Amino acid sequence: MKKAIIGLCTLGALSAPQVQAESALFPAFSLVAGILNQGVFPESDLYTTDDDIIITADDGVELAANVFVPTSASGPCPAVIFINSWALNEYEYLTEAARFAEEGYVVLSYSTRGFGTSGGQIDTAGPLDMADLSNVIDYLITHFDVDPNAIGTAGISYGSGISLLGAAHDPRISAVAAMSTWGSLRESLYGNETPRQVWGELLTLTSELIGNPDPVIEQTWNNVLNRENLAEVYAWTDQRSPLNYVDQINANGTAVYISQNWGDNLFQPNSVLELFSQLTVAKHIDLQAGTHAGAEIGGLLGDGDTHVLNNMHRWFAEHLKGESGAMEGQKPVHMKVKFSDHYEEFDEFPVADASAETYYLKPRGLLSNGDLSDTPYQSWFAADNNINSLLDTVASTQIPLASQIFEQLDIPVTATMSLISRPNGIQFEGNWLGSDMKIRGNPELSLMIQPKDETVQLVAYLYDVNLLGVGKLITHKPYTLHDASVGSKTRISFPLTTTAYDIPAGHRAVLVIDTQDLLYAKPDGFYSVDFEFSNNEQSTLTLPVL
């Protein structure tokens, strides 16, 4: 067995023998072992395993891999290739690899270059990773009795993006399971020209601590933070964005399964759903609460019996084994409504049954908040409201990463509306609802503003507010305006993060806008902005409602 070369300090006390001694708790320990770069393989008469596979890339880099081979196979088997998440390795998916092998698949898992014991530098789903994946497929076909027309790739996060990009580059991939994936890497790192500070720092730090990063990774992130060399940043991110390769995926006919989480603030679901809507191949998407990789990793830590992991198995059964009906008649779009225990099914996204309801923003008064009204602002006089960046408000995504995990456990992110600082934030309140409001899709915000400084950041939050004035966060989105024309009226329009949420009767929708959030890099210095209101310059919030 390969020796561990890396360990996370919090898990470093676990040795391989100690882990092996706890075979009854294998699923949880297998993921821990993956983090520690040690393999702990379950035993079964239904398959054999090999942990000493080395695959040589075109440039001589050696990729570490393992394989599960079913013992009862009587002919060519369907095959699944698992690709590691960022900072993990070929041991990440041992639980699912064993389960697939028991179902008759040859399953090969490998560490991408720069991670685990694989050589080379991290290529971040770039051209070298694409060539490596093709080499892995070559190795699989050459050394094992697999059906070359029934090869699937799967992964969580980093492995999911490589799977989707690989499906565009190598037509031998018949099906993909992409979990917590991304559509646009540009959007993920710098959406609305706002750096994703927490996630960007976490990814660069872990690549340095656990992997062997190409220096371009840190340089690209520094360019994003400093708003420098953006043409180079966009060229690098766009080459690594599956959304830019939809035509190739469609042409290759790859069946695509996607799992995504509403609270994924690294790979927010908007660009993933844009990719999904453009696919013309067999496709399915599951959308649920939680943070990045939360729903998927949770399954790996348990017995794998989760909606997402079960659907991955169903997907490959249908598209690699040819088991018609394995998906059990599920419609292509599954949305788990936040803070509920059920999925809703739709034929497409955007949801055809959701109608656009437009609300007009009306200014606040001396002692009152602004309105979300179903009629436009009408007055003989224009009005404006100002907020500034001196302080943050209680409107927030709260604790980075942790708050979204809590949402998965039905613990909402909340804020008391009366505590929102008026100098630093503004509220627009809807009417109290007589019936449930079922939001399914992308709320769209269009604002007429007047920047008082060259750089202004706004963060929009949509809340479900009860009679006590306590709001549950439904969704949010930042927007940073650079090189603004100071003192000139400017319209900015952007979607909030996609969601499925029911505001109950007796509550109301409240839109809060302030100037910063811990998740995002805030511009330097002090800035302020006026919200402009006039008959000819309406600001609106449009909600997709069933």
What is the structure's pLDDT at 42? 86
Which residue would you say has higher pLDDT here, 488 or 73?
A: 488
pLDDT digits over 313-355, tens only? Answer: 999 999 999 999 999 999 999 999 999 988 999 999 999 999 9
Extract the tokens encoding 154. 């799967």
If you average pLDDT over residues 515-532, what whole number do you get? 97
The domain segmentation of the chain, as residue ranges, is 16-346, 355-545
* Whole-number Cα distances in Å, 180 to 183, 213, 259, 286, 503: 10, 22, 6, 10, 26
If you average pLDDT over residues 23-42, what whole number do you get? 56
pLDDT digits over 458-481, tens only? Answer: 999 999 999 999 999 999 999 999
If you average pLDDT over residues 138-147, what whole number do you get? 98
Least confident of 118-127, 183-192, 365-374, 401-410: 401-410
Q: Are 181 and 160 in contact (CB under 8 A)?
A: yes
Q: Are 178 and 258 in contact (CB under 8 A)?
A: yes
**Cβ-based neighbour number of residue 409 at 10 Å:** 9
Distance separating alpha carbons of residues 289 and 408, to the nearest angstrom:
5
Band of residue 121 on the pLDDT scale cut at 50, 70, 90: very high
If you average pLDDT over residues 71-88, what whole number do you get? 94
SS3 assignment for 228-264: CCHHHHHHHHHHCCHHHHHHHHHHHCCEEEEEEECCC
Band of residue 395 on the pLDDT scale cut at 50, 70, 90: very high
For residue 9, which amino acid is it? C
Residue found under tokens 């081979």:
69
What is the structure's pLDDT at 37? 54
* For helices 94-102 and 26-35, angle between their N-to-C axes, nearest 10 degrees: 130
User: What does the chain come to in residues?
Assistant: 546
Extract the tokens encoding 88. 């993990």
CATH pick for 16-346 out of 3.40.50.1820, 3.20.20.140, 3.90.420.10, 3.90.320.10: 3.40.50.1820
Q: Is the dihedral of CA 439, 444, 446, 452 positive or negative?
A: positive
What is the structure's pLDDT at 245? 98
* Whole-number Cα distances in Å, 5 to 9, 12, 209, 212, 498: 13, 11, 12, 12, 40
Q: Identify which of 217, 219, 248, 220 has the alpha carbon closest to the alpha carbon of residue 234.
A: 220
SS3 assignment for 381-424: CCEEEEEECCCCCCCCCCCCCHHHHHHHCCCCCEEEHHHCCCCC
What is the structure's pLDDT at 35? 54
What is the structure's pLDDT at 31? 55
High-pLDDT (> 70) share of the chain, %: 93
User: In CATH terms, is domain 355-545 a member of 3.40.50.10540?
Assistant: no
Question: Which contacts (CB < 8 Å, 24+ apart) does range 55-58 have?
Answer: 55/110, 55/132, 55/135, 55/136, 55/139, 56/135, 57/113, 57/120, 57/128, 57/131, 57/132, 57/135, 58/131, 58/135
For residue 514, which amino acid is it? D
φ/ψ region of 441 (left if φ > 0, alpha if ψ in -120 to 50, else beta) reads left
Distance separating alpha carbons of residues 188 and 241, to the nearest angstrom:
10
Distance separating alpha carbons of residues 318 and 252, to the nearest angstrom:
17
φ/ψ region of 25 (left if φ > 0, alpha if ψ in -120 to 50, else beta) reads alpha
**Same-fold call for 16-346 versus 355-545:** no
pTM: 0.93
Tell me: pLDDT of 12 over 90: no
